[in-house]
Structure 1
């Protein structure tokens, strides 16, 4: 890979993707609406474009060719169609950031649990469907584009110091402030990926011959009660858990059943994931310090 276009790469793990590409010597172009600024300065080319407007994207990218396009901000089949029509003759490979939300609850879910090649295709806007359904239809639309090598990377909840969703920070704050946390099933298990590893994996998979869906997550999972215990030990304070869920106390991790993925396909391709429990405690330390 010599050149890459990143659709949405100026915050959270999109920034890590760009950093990983730059470290590999890739000539990176970032296409954004320009509202989040450019954290990379002259290290990258920046195109001002509305990724959700075909004319805007086509005009901004006219005359360029990219070995790989990374789509960080596609949420529906219509989004995929817009990017495809604008870029189809200018890209060699399409890497789409998908999600574990294409799966129903389950343990060690593998890629065959959702098959975008047989799923009924509907062209919808992201506002018309749920997040998970939008990603399902986005994958389905992407893999219907014959002749375009494509990968959908299914990732779980991403954790990192620059996490604008503040989902892990929510739990740290609640425990530190002695406020209750609404969690329907503390025995459920989740797995995660760090922002840096999400970016690194996306950059890596773009260099592989592989096409199709692939799961990407850190090795290992964690029971939600164990996560709460870990935060308690770092803060030296006890959590107040409740099954009386309100808008104010609802845990962003408040799943009803275990929801984890199997990353063995990516491992068999040659990628070595980190171990969740090697870095999660340090991230909790960081959040504890900043509040």
Structure 2
């Protein structure tokens, strides 16, 4: 891979993807609407385009060709169809950032738990379906495009210092302020991936011959009880937990059942994932220190 186009690479783990590509010596182009600035300056090429508008994206990429396109901001089959029509003769491979939300609850879920090759295909706008259903249909639309090598990277909740969703920060704040956190099942388990590793894996898989869906997550998982106890150990405050859920106390991790993925396929391909419990405590330290 010598050239790459990144659709949505200006915040959170999209930035880590661009950094990882640059570190590999890839000539990177980012396509944005220009609203969030360019954090990379002249290290990247920048196209001003609306990823959700065929004519805008096609015009911006006129006369260009990329070895790989990374789609960080596709949320539906309509989004995939727009990008495909605009880029089909301009890219050699399509890497789509998908999600663990294509799976129902379960433990150590592998890629066979959702098959985009047999899922009923329909074109929908992301506003008309749930996040998980939109990603299912996006994958289904992508793999229906014959002749275009494609990968769908399924990731769990991403953790990092620049997480604009503030999901982990929510828990640190609530515990430190001695406020209630609403969780329906404290025995449920989750796994995560760091923003750095998400970016590094995406960059890595783009240079592999592999096509199809693949899970990417740190090794290991954590029970929600363990997580709040870990935050307690860092803040010195005891969590106040309740299963009476309100809009104010609802945990962003408030799942009803265990929801974890298996990363064996990616590991067998040759990628070495980090261990969740090697970096999660230091991230909680970071959040504790900035509050």
Q: TM-score range by the shorter chain?
A: over 0.9
What value does the CA root-mean-square deviation take over the aligned residues?
A: 0.2
Q: SS in structure 2 opposite 1:181?
A: strand
Deviation, 1:20, is 0.1
Summarize the alignment of residues 107-146 of structure 1 with structure 2, pairs less than 5 Å apart.
107-146=107-146
Q: Distance in 2 between matches of 1:245 and 1:64?
A: 51
| TM-superposition CA deviations, 1:33-77 (whole Å, max 9, x none) | 111100000000010100000000001111110000000000000
Structure 1 partner of 2:63: 63
Residue 49 of structure 2 corresponds to which residue in structure 1? 49
C-alpha deviation, 1:241, in angstroms: 0.2
Residues of 2 paired with 1:62 and 1:239: CA distance? Answer: 55
* TM-score of the two chains, using structure 2 as the length reference: 1.00
- The alignment partner of 1:237 has SS state of coil
Structure 1 residue 231, shift from structure 2 partner: 0.2
Deviations 1:161-217 (Å, cap 9, x if unpaired)? 000000000000000111000000010000000000000000000000000000000
1:260 corresponds to which residue?
Answer: 260
Size of the aligned set, in residue pairs, is: 291
Say whether residues 1:27 and 2:27 are aligned partners.
yes
Query: Following superposition, which runs of at least 4 residues in structure 1 exceed 4 angstroms of deviation?
Result: none
Q: Identify unmatched segments of 5+ residues in structure 1.
A: none
1:260 aligned counterpart, secondary structure: strand
Q: 2:255 & 2:281 partners in 1: Cα distance?
A: 22
CA distance in 2, matches of 1:261, 1:270: 18
Question: How far did residue 22 of structure 1 move?
Answer: 0.1
Query: Paired residue for 2:85?
Result: 85
| Aligned: 1:12 with 2:12 | yes
Q: Tell me the distance in 2 between the aligned counterparts of 1:273 and 1:2.
A: 24
- Structure 2 gaps of 5+ residues are none
Could you tell me which residue of structure 1 aligns to residue 201 of structure 2? 201
Partners of 1:46 and 1:95 in 2: CA distance:
19
Aligned to 2:238: 238
Tell me the alpha carbon deviations over residues 215-239 of structure 1, each in whole angstroms, 9 at most, x when there is no partner. 0000000000000000000001100
